[in-house]
């Protein structure tokens, strides 16, 4: 065989071997690449108990026996109750939002950590996120102290996929999506254009498929400098949304700094006031 041809053949075989190795790595380690469970210490939980008298500690047993833990921030409200269900990012332990809840005026805030996050048990997956969201919703809407509430569903980053799933399957008045994406497959193609994401990914988080069926008004918040979820992904989802879309883009923010912008909670509170 021609030596040059043999060299090309060897390089090709090595390339295919390395590609297959990379695909195997991505497949088996995708959970750890997608989810970054964050814990909360007993001291931090005790601090919440001592410092907030309007916060109810929640321990919810899912149908499969897993205990979900978090908080219900009960903001005072005259007349019809207003409930905001929040679903966070992939590395987000949600207790830090208790302090921000005061900015929502008379909207009470449901904050339960995903499985494996905070003090919640179990292991997180797309299926568990969806089923838990339904159970969390049913638990609070079924409480005797919550009668015919106004309901808003909010998701941030990977939590926008959970929010769109819940909005498609339950009653709601409005949706807030922070740094949303069209689907996990489409997002993976942005970051890994040479890999066959459709074959590797176990999870879909296909928000764009559900978007046309969701008729409620939606506030979409994006960071102009977001490299994790490029704004183009968010705008593509907005184009398919079945209801009215209000967009707030923050010029000086990126994916992680967005929620710290001074206008972030102002935009959310203003949108909720208009419901």
- DSSP-assigned letter for residue 225: T
Percent of the chain with pLDDT strictly greater than 70: 88
| pLDDT confidence of residue 2 | 61
Per-residue model confidence as pLDDT tens digits over 19-36: 565 556 566 567 877 899
| pLDDT confidence of residue 194 | 74
Phi-psi region of 161 (alpha: psi -120 to 50; beta: other; left: phi over 0): alpha
Kindly calculate the radius of gyration of the chain based on its CA atoms and give it in whole angstroms. 21
pTM of the model: 0.91
* Cβ contact 175:245 at 8 Å: no
Percent of the chain with pLDDT strictly greater than 90: 76
**Interhelix angle for 126-141 vs 159-169, to 10°?**
50
Find the range with the poorest average confidence among 73-82, 134-143, 237-246, 256-265.
Answer: 73-82
Residue 41 exposed, middle or buried by CB count within 10 Å (0-12, 13-18, 19+): exposed
Per-residue model confidence as pLDDT tens digits over 206-252: 999 999 999 999 999 999 999 999 999 999 999 999 999 999 999 99
| pLDDT confidence of residue 137 | 98
DSSP-H helix ranges across the chain: 3-34, 42-51, 97-100, 126-141, 159-169, 184-191, 197-200, 207-210, 231-240, 264-273
Per-residue model confidence as pLDDT tens digits over 185-200: 999 889 888 777 767 7
Tokens of 88: 């966070």
As a whole number, mean pLDDT of residues 75-101 equals 92
Compute the Cα dihedral for 124, 125, 129, 132 and give only its sign: negative
Find the range with the poorest average confidence among 25-34, 134-143, 166-175.
Answer: 25-34
| pLDDT confidence of residue 7 | 61
| pLDDT confidence of residue 15 | 57
| pLDDT confidence of residue 8 | 56
| pLDDT confidence of residue 79 | 77
Per-residue model confidence as pLDDT tens digits over 29-83: 678 778 999 999 999 999 999 999 999 999 999 999 999 999 999 997 777 899 9
Q: Average model confidence (pLDDT) for the chain?
A: 91
| pLDDT confidence of residue 202 | 87
Which residue has better confidence, 179 or 192? 179
> 101: closest CA among 114, 85, 78, 119?
85
> 187: closest CA among 149, 154, 231?
231
Torsion, CA 5, CA 9, CA 12, CA 16, rounded to 10? 170
* Cβ contact 180:259 at 8 Å: no
As a whole number, mean pLDDT of residues 100-105 equals 88
| pLDDT confidence of residue 180 | 98
């Amino acid at each position: 065989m021609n030596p040059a041809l043999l060299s090309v053949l060897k390089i090709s075989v090595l390339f295919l071997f390395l590609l297959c190795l990379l695909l195997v790595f991505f497949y088996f380690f995708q959970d750890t690449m997608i989810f970054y469970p964050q814990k909360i210490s007993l001291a931090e939980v005790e601090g919440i108990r001592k410092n907030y008298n309007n916060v109810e500690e929640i321990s919810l047993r899912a149908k499969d026996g897993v205990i979900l833990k978090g908080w219900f921030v009960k903001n005072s409200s005259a007349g019809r109750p207003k409930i905001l269900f929040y679903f966070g990012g992939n590395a987000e332990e949600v207790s830090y939002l208790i302090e921000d809840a005061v900015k929502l005026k008379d909207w009470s805030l449901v904050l339960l950590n995903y499985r494996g996050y905070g003090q919640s048990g179990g292991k997180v997956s797309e299926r568990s996120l969806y089923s838990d969201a339904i159970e969390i919703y049913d638990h609070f809407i079924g409480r005797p102290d919550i009668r015919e509430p106004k309901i808003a569903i909010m998701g941030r980053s990977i939590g926008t996929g959970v929010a769109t799933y819940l909005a498609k399957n339950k009653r709601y008045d409005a949706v807030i999506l922070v740094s949303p994406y069209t689907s996990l497959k489409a997002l993976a193609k942005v970051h890994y254009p040479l890999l066959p994401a459709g074959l590797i990914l176990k999870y879909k988080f296909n928000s764009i498929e559900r978007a046309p069926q969701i008729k409620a008004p939606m506030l979409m918040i994006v960071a102009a400098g977001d490299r994790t979820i490029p704004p183009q992904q968010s705008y593509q989802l907005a184009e398919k949304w079945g209801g009215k879309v209000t967009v707030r883009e923050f010029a000086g923010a990126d994916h992680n700094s967005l929620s710290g912008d001074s206008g972030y909670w102002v935009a959310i509170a203003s949108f909720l006031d208009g419901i």
